[in-house]
Structure 1
Amino acid sequence: MARAVPALERAFDILELFLDEPELSAPEITSRLGLPRTTVHELLGTLVERGYLTHAGGSGSRYRLGVRGFQLGSAYADRLDLAREGHLAAEETSRQCNETVHIGIREGTDVLYVAKVDSGHPVRMVSAVGRRIPAHCTAVGKALLAPLSREKLDELYGGTTLTPMTDNSISDYPSLLAELAEVARRSGQAREYCESNDSVACVAAPVRDHSHEVVAAMSIAVPILRWNERVERELTETVLRGAANLSERLGHRAD
């Protein structure tokens, strides 16, 4: 690992203070970081000159983030590729559990799979990258539907018939609403037992981007012959870590 540059580390330390505070004064920065006052003033001057900080309210006593940080963040966001980042996160998650991992997005009332990493075990799945499946039949879909408002859900499902994929699929709107309310109570953790495939169970978790919006979901699928309460508990923890990893790749910052 290359040797860290102390001056750069201090500059980054100053910038990262503004992740939690809209404005700070030089004395506040000095106190929080325990740096010499002269060093802080020199670093602040440089950061202002380069556009990473600006004087708040037109005075020289307080500082806030400048436009340069926004430009860098926008450039980073423009270069993000959900399919690519999703595949990388799915690979890492699959290595941890040796099960099939999916990344899906919502398109209307369907889930569209944008990434999939297969288990080392032979598993017959109905999913494939680019395939659409009714969201109400999948754990990924439930994780994507749960954050939606009742008004949006009414718009999507009100007055429509839910087509089941198996005998275990949710087949009416009130049952879907009850299930989504339970998913929301579990902070987006969703489950599926033989609802899109007669022989597969899944757990899923939501994926958020830099704006804190749910933009995708990750699931882990397991044949029911290997499914039990312990496996469900362990894989739920794994999928939560995997979804958090992908969220971080997409710029989400946990509170």
Structure 2
Amino acid sequence: MAGQVTDEAGSKRARGLDRAFEILEYLRAHRQPIRPNELAIAMEAPRSSIYELVNLLLRHGMLEYSGGDGRVYLGRKLYFLGNAYSDHFDLMRECDISLTHLAEQTRETAQMCLLEGNKYTVAMMREGLRPFHISSAVGELVSIPWTASGRLLIGHMSDQEILDFIPPEDFVLPNGRHLDPAQFIAEVRAATADGFFTFNSVVENYTYCFAVPVHQADGTPIATLCLVTPREDGLKHREAYLDRLLSEARDLSERLGYKPTPAIKRSSL
């Protein structure tokens, strides 16, 4: 009986911890303060548990009051935790250097992109030196099939794992066209074999996107380095931009312990 009680208490604490992380993630995704009762409605959670967790997160500095009327938002404690993470996690620091190199060398907008759950996000960005800037919202969650990086970040998954991972509605592109999952998977396999993916952006009509993977030691793609360019310039300088990206990504991957197989010569368009 005592063991059962202990198990139930541990399970309750785990559910509470999960819910606390869900609160933080909800605020990160929506980027605006919210009242706890509105949070409970949006998350379809009991108000009592949401109020209890919000108060706990407030006490620990993970949340702060913001905007009046009892609204809460992400707290400054998270900023310090993020700084500690950045100091420890070499990939972020090294990617920052790589993005600076790419932006200076190409004059284009350079990005480092990741998976966030079953979505894609731009984690870091350096704008190019052009008078006309192309930029994306860092941290915004985007459907994986809409992106060049998405074809590379899930290349280690099986076909069925990909279909289970991506929500069916995410195959509907911004223009309303439905992308056939079989076509998407074929593009994933081709991109993984090529070691890069380029295409006309489905989000911005005038841009051309480049993405190459950064691999961790076991070969899993952990991130991508990307360039987002005006379409005409991207096509004109496609080979040169790809060479820059591939070189930076290869160096990063090797510093993470990845041992690549001998490169296969690329064919140009």
TM-score (structure 2 length as normaliser): 0.58
Alignment partner of 1:121 out of 130, 137, 157: 130
Deviations 1:72-115 (A, max 9, x none): xxxxxx93333222111111222221211111111233112111
Q: Quick check: 2:143–2:170 contact (8 Å CA) kept in 1?
A: no
Partner of residue 158, structure 2: 149
1:1-255 aligned at under 5 Å gives the runs 79-123=88-132, 125=134, 127-157=136-166, 159-160=168-169, 162-166=171-175, 171-186=179-194, 188-228=195-235, 230-255=236-261
Q: Quick check: 2:127–2:134 contact (8 Å CA) kept in 1?
A: no
Deviations 1:42-63 (A, max 9, x none): xxxxxxxxxxxxxxxxxxxxxx
| Stretches (4+) displaced over 3 A | 122-126, 157-161
Q: Residue type of the partner of 2:124?
A: A
- CA distance 1:123–1:245, change in 2 (3 Å): farther
CA RMSD of aligned residues (A): 2.4
Cα offset, 1:124, TM superposition: 5.0
Q: Residue type of the partner of 2:90?
A: D
Larger radius of gyration: 1
Q: Look up the SS of the partner of 1:151 in the other structure.
A: helix
Deviations 1:174-227 (A, max 9, x none): 2211211221231x3111203121111011111012232210111111111323
Cα offset, 1:161, TM superposition: 5.0
Deviations 1:102-152 (A, max 9, x none): 111112331121111111114454623222222211112212122322131
TM-score (structure 1 length as normaliser): 0.61
Q: Quick check: 1:102–1:218 contact (8 Å CA) kept in 2?
A: yes
Rounded Cα–Cα distance in structure 1 between residues aligned with 2:167 and 2:201 = 25
Q: Quick check: 1:192–1:201 contact (8 Å CA) kept in 2?
A: yes
Cα offset, 1:159, TM superposition: 4.7
Partner of residue 62, structure 2: none
Q: Quick check: 1:199–1:224 contact (8 Å CA) kept in 2?
A: yes
- CA distance 1:234–1:118, change in 2 (3 Å): same
Partner of residue 9, structure 1: none
- What are structure 2's unaligned runs of at least 5 residues? 1-86, 262-269
Rounded Cα–Cα distance in structure 1 between residues aligned with 2:118 and 2:131 = 29
Aligned residues: 175
